Chains A and B, each alone.
Chain A
């Protein structure tokens, strides 16, 4: 059996993706800090945020963003850190592991294997669909991949890129990640580059499984993961190069890390959430809505515990906002310097006032409930939200529920105010916006229904699981 050049290129691209994963693992503190699945879930985002931020730094410093310079400066620091950590903290890590409850990653339960096989089939379909064809849909190549191709071929971020490429105001996080894969592929190959996106889906599912497994048995956790993985629109987006799934992944990771922080007050979780918040604003502009919502929730949590202006509260909000503020601040300065403004403009449509709200409400209801892209998710979410309203304010739930609600409300207001209103009827704009928070909503629904059904284990242990 012979292997074609294109297959070799795709294989090399996949290797680049695995290196990104390894970079995330190497930055992760302490082996016993997270369960195996959660580590895998967080590692991908950590690695990609590190890669795309470092590329931005290199470009700002005027260093050529070539493969050699890029790979050395991006892989070097985490490699050094990993070697030092491995050497210095080996014994500490072993001690941490021995304290925690070690669970095998794979279960012996045949039901677990059956559900895992179903999940495997879904993932295989996504990977085959992603690798069988080049980038297909508009935004994937016109908005993001073209920028990445230019950066890859120029080994810099040329000023001209912002003059004639679609949507110059969109953040460069994903294009930089695509450049990373292209470095490993050895040429610009948009099939190899597209492997990033099934990777996002896989990392998202690892996060979901890890989070459910912290509270439930293996079989129930796999069932809950299937509940999230079965969202049709999520599967559809895992096979082309839009930024909506990456944003959904960062939204979910943010919420999981902040929930861990709320339950344990471990600042490592806060730092993790901060890095994921940087991933949010570096992926899409609307990631800002979720970061702002989370900062407000953190402030509310601090106020409840020791007062809004207490040192702990201010420090927590400060740590959380540190990374996104740096990334977004630098990007905003760059945009101001180049005279780039937003592409979201106030609408001067004929439909105004109450008619406009009524239209928005109807279109939202149709998209959330009636069009099959989310199956029963939003029906269950609405119901659980009403019946569990008091519990939505607890540490366990606040970061899982309120970012979803806030995001949808703010998007509704933005649709009312801006020309987004005109796109409500067009193709899948609204569904793509809903996707940003849908996996998180599904996780919360799964957790709550699981609690109602008695799936939660008597003494959940969120630390030290194998």
Chain B
């Protein structure tokens, strides 16, 4: 989830073949760099030519990879609203929902965000994204106000937290307050 750029070809792939060739060709070119014989000069040119050819190949693949990434980005995000773009990143309309929460709580109040989802990595991700979206409302554990976020349709809020006062029920979250 946090990977910015996966390796282009994975481990021990095409580069495992190309790198020894490059090392051999560049070594040959280097050792012959002062050779003034006809054979030496021709070998040197071939060796460096091979290095340049492999670089051009790698460059071409790199450009292809970037164009592919561009197509993915444009197809996912091109022409969509910011809310839809955030929803595409989070896989749920977390940004929209946190805007909703922000309208229900006054700024600079604390709120606890509890993510009701079974995958720990998604829990962490959504909680931190909620922190980012909600500021200047501060996300803090053990706050008297709590958002319970499901990311999908959920059981009625009253059945979820019976020992808290329900402040608001929405499609994908419940907002509670500790009973006084």
Partner-binding segment picked from A104-112, A229-237, A402-410: A229-237
Convert B1-37 into 0s and 1s, putting 1 for each residue whose CB lies closer than 8 angstroms to a CB of A: 1111111111111111011001100110110010000
Instruction: Give Cα A382 to B132, complex, Å.
Output: 43
Could you tell me the distance in whole angstroms from the C-beta of B30 to the nearest C-beta in chain A?
5
Known contacts A369-B15, A379-B23; 11 additional CB pairs below 8 A are A134-B86, A139-B2, A164-B131, A164-B138, A236-B4, A237-B4, A237-B5, A370-B11, A375-B15, A376-B18, A380-B51
Q: How many residues of A contact B (CB 8 A)?
A: 56
Pair B19/A373 contact, Cβ less than 8 Å? no
The reply to whether B26 and A379 form a contact with Cβ atoms under 8 Å apart is: yes
Q: B-side binding surface: helix, strand, loop or mixed?
A: helix
Whether the pair B62, A235 counts as a contact (CB closer than 8 A) is yes
- A191 (CB) vs chain B CBs: closest residue: B82
Nearest CB on B from A379, distance (A):
5
CA–CA, A428 to B5, complex, Å?
7
Residues on B with C-beta less than 8 A from A361 are none
> Any chain A CB within 8 A of the CB of B154?
no
- B: residues with CB less than 8 A from A are 1-16, 18-19, 22-23, 26-27, 29-30, 33, 48, 51, 54-55, 58-59, 61-63, 65-67, 69-70, 73-74, 76-78, 82, 85-86, 88-89, 125, 128-129, 131-132, 135-136, 138-140
Interchain pairs with CB closer than 8 A, number: 151
A149→B135 contact, CB < 8 A:
yes
Contact partner, B2, options A133, A138, A237, Cβ 8 Å:
A138
**Which of A226, A366, A383 counts the most B-chain CB atoms under 10 A from its CB?**
A383
Give the chain A neighbours of B18 by CB distance below 8 A: 376
A428 & B22 in contact (Cβ 8 Å cutoff): no
Interchain CB contact under 8 A, B66 and A428: no
Give the docked Cα–Cα distance between A143 and B73 (Å). Answer: 23
A141 on interface, CB distance cutoff 8 Å: yes
- B19 touching A146 by the CB < 8 A rule? no
Asked if A133 and B23 make an inter-chain contact with CB atoms under 8 angstroms apart, the answer reads: no
Q: How far is the CA of A379 from the CA of B3 in the complex (A)?
A: 25
SS of A interface (majority): helix
Bound CA span A102–B136, Å:
54
Contact of A236 among B5, B10, B138 (CB under 8 A): B5
Residues of A within 8 A of B (CB): 6, 121-122, 125-126, 128-129, 132-134, 136-139, 141-142, 145-146, 149-150, 153-154, 160, 164, 166, 191, 226-227, 230-233, 235-237, 240, 242, 366, 369-373, 375-376, 379-380, 382-383, 387, 427-428, 431-432, 452-453
Contact B2 A371 (CB under 8 A): no
Q: A128-B74, A129-B69, A132-B78 are in contact. Are A232 and B62 (CB under 8 A)?
A: yes
Closest partner residue, chain B, to A143 (CB atom):
B128
Known: A133-B89, A370-B12, A371-B10. A240 touches B135 (CB 8 A): no
Would you call B70 and A125 a contact (CB within 8 A)? yes
Q: Can you give 28 contacting A-B residue pairs, CB < 8 Å?
A: A121-B63, A129-B70, A132-B74, A133-B88, A133-B89, A137-B3, A138-B128, A139-B2, A145-B132, A146-B135, A149-B132, A150-B136, A153-B135, A164-B138, A227-B55, A230-B62, A232-B62, A232-B66, A369-B15, A369-B19, A372-B13, A373-B8, A376-B18, A376-B54, A379-B22, A427-B2, A427-B3, A453-B48
Contacts of B73 in A (CB 8 A): 128-129, 132-133
Contacts of A240 in B (CB 8 A): 4
Report whether A428 and B3 are in contact in the complex, using a CB–CB cutoff of 8 Å.
yes
- State the Cβ distance, A101 to closest chain B Cβ, in Å: 29
Task: List, in ascending order, chain B residues with CB within 8 A of A431's CB.
Answer: 5, 7
Q: Which single residue of chain A is at the shortest CB-CB distance from B86?
A: A134
Q: B2, B14, B69: which contacts A372 (Cβ < 8 A)?
A: B14
Establish whether residues A134 and B23, one from each chain, have CB atoms under 8 Å apart when the complex forms: no
